[in-house]
């Protein structure tokens, strides 16, 4: 194999080369490591490197799966026995896992070679990836900008072609935000489609889920086939698919009823280039023969207020766990100011406040379910402004009042689909005049990843993005 062509293959393509013995898993691992050495000093995407673990995997024999031999990164919020997971926090900088998460185990069964952990902000709290512990992860398209978050390391590594597919997770947009900012494909599956155990049954009151970001639609579909399904501790399950998701890629999506909006759900003005790109994609979909009309769901409650309560309660628990483990109060030496402030808010809130936030999330979910009775898909911008500049969100500032307005302007539409549990994806369909990616978000009914994957494949054929490479790959 000519390794200069490595970056043109998706995960399924690399696995096919392994099956045909045209390349070995060790050669693929060596290429991923070489690419990490070349570009990671510029983007800072791979913050934990455990190449020895990957080499031992290969020596012992990889599982026979759809991605056998494909290099892979776990997000630095998930655990893999015998390897470091820092959660982006100083207090955990040397923490080594004593067991493996269920989803990570399923990735291993899919045959991937896990050679490290990708960067995340502390506890995955921010839509940029700039932890104090590891420093900022930079956007491969423009190093002055963020790659997004919280799966910013994964998206940057895939965009820079260190590897074709990487683990990501999404509690309020953390797959779709970095997919948009970094110009890759990112699908947030239906709630409970993929497991979160064995240490928890759900994350962030059911808002959080794990999957991947990828170069291609088919990689996302094939990985969903490989890892989806409940585990014994699952508190609830997603509706089973009608057929393997990989079979949906290339299937005729039919004539879909697509609603679209180029506005923020709060009614705020958005970046004009993003608004224009949204309308352009709506026109493209109409040209495919879909029924497209401009309308949007009304917010039944404020998603930002819901997220604040739910996330702060979970952050307070994370800090309490650390205090119990280390036997002392946590300070700014241990966690960022934002994390401690969020934990304080969670401690101050009452159980009634938490239940009220859950009720508000249900009201949002109910309104969305009613809206999707009259359409199959909603199109809107993934982000309402271009990728943030590095440093625009400062989690170590004594005054954190700048963060709320930035979040409202930047990513107002992503979290509502975490609350409803609906599948949603960011598709890299546009770039602005400055050369930064502008992802388009599509959401479908609960349990209907199939429609999204069919539509994504249709768009991928019409507007292929795999060959579009950031300057860092030159």
Active site residues: 75, 150, 174
Which tokens hold the place of 125?
A: 């709290």
- Residue 391 backbone phi and psi in degrees, to 5: 95, -5
Dihedral sign computed on CA atoms, order 321, 325, 329, 333: negative
| Contact (CB, 8 A) for 102 and 200 | no
220 burial via Cβ count (<10 Å: 0-12, 13-18, 19+): buried
| Contact (CB, 8 A) for 113 and 22 | no
Tokens 């909006």, residue located: 261
Which tokens hold the place of 379?
A: 């199109």
Selection from 358, 315, 357 nearest residue 336 by Cα = 315
141 burial via Cβ count (<10 Å: 0-12, 13-18, 19+): buried
Which tokens hold the place of 330?
A: 């946590």
Whole-angstrom CA distances from 337 to 85, 306, 391, 436 are 21, 21, 15, 30
- Residue 49 backbone phi and psi in degrees, to 5: -115, 115
Where b means 16+ CB within 10 Å and e means fewer, 268-306 reads eebbebbbebbeebbebbeeeebebeeebbebbbebeeb
User: Cα(80)–Cα(76) distance, rounded to whole angstroms?
Assistant: 10
| Contact (CB, 8 A) for 273 and 391 | no
266 burial via Cβ count (<10 Å: 0-12, 13-18, 19+): middle
What region does 191 belong to: left with phi over 0, alpha with psi -120 to 50, or beta? Answer: beta
Where b means 16+ CB within 10 Å and e means fewer, 80-89 reads beebbbbbbb
User: Cα(309)–Cα(307) distance, rounded to whole angstroms?
Assistant: 6
């Amino acid at each position: 194999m000519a390794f200069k062509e490595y970056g043109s293959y998706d995960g399924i393509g690399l696995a096919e080369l392994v099956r045909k013995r045209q390349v070995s898993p060790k050669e693929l691992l060596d290429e991923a490591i070489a690419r990490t050495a070349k570009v990671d000093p510029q983007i800072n995407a791979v913050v934990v490197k455990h190449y020895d673990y990957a080499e031992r995997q290969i020596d012992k024999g990889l599982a026979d799966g759809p991605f056998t031999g494909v290099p892979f990164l776990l997000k630095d919020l998930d655990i893999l026995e015998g390897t470091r997971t820092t959660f982006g926090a100083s207090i955990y900088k040397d923490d080594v896992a004593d067991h493996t998460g269920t989803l990570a185990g399923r990735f291993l069964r899919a045959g991937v070679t896990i050679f490290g952990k990708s960067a995340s902000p502390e506890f995955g709290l921010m839509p940029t990836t700039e932890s104090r512990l590891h420093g900022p992860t930079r956007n491969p398209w423009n190093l002055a900008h963020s790659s997004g978050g919280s799966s910013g390391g994964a998206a940057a590594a895939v965009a820079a072609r260190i590897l074709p597919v990487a683990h990501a997770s999404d509690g309020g947009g953390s797959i779709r935000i970095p997919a948009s900012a970094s110009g890759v494909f990112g699908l947030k599956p239906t709630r409970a489609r993929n497991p979160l155990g064995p240490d928890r049954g759900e994350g962030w009151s059911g808002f959080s889920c794990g999957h991947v970001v990828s170069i291609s639609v088919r990689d996302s579909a094939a990985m969903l086939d490989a890892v989806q399904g409940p585990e014994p501790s699952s508190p609830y399950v997603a509706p089973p698919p009608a057929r393997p998701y990989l079979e949906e890629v290339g299937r005729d999506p039919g004539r879909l009823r697509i609603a679209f909006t180029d506005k923020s759900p709060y009614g705020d003005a958005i970046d004009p280039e993003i608004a224009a790109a949204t309308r352009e994609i709506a026109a493209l979909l109409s040209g495919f023969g879909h029924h497209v009309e401009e309308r949007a769901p009304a917010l039944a409650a404020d998603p930002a207020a819901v997220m604040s309560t739910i996330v702060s309660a979970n952050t307070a628990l994370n800090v309490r766990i650390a205090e119990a483990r280390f036997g002392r109060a946590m300070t700014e030496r241990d966690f960022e100011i934002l994390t401690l402030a969020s934990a304080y808010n969670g401690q101050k809130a009452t159980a009634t406040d938490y239940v009220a936030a859950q009720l508000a999330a249900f009201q949002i979910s109910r309104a969305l379910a009613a809206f999707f009775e009259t359409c199959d898909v909603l199109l809107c911008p993934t982000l309402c402004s271009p990728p943030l500049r590095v440093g625009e969100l400062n989690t170590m500032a004594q005054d954190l009042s700048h963060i709320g307005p930035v979040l409202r302007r930047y990513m107002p539409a992503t979290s509502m689909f975490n609350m409803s549990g609906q599948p949603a994806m960011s598709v890299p369909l546009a770039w602005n005049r400055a050369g930064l990616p502008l992802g388009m978000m599509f959401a479908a009914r609960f349990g209907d990843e199939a429609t999204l994957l069919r539509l994504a494949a249709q768009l991928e054929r019409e507007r292929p993005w795999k060959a579009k490479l950031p300057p860092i790959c030159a």
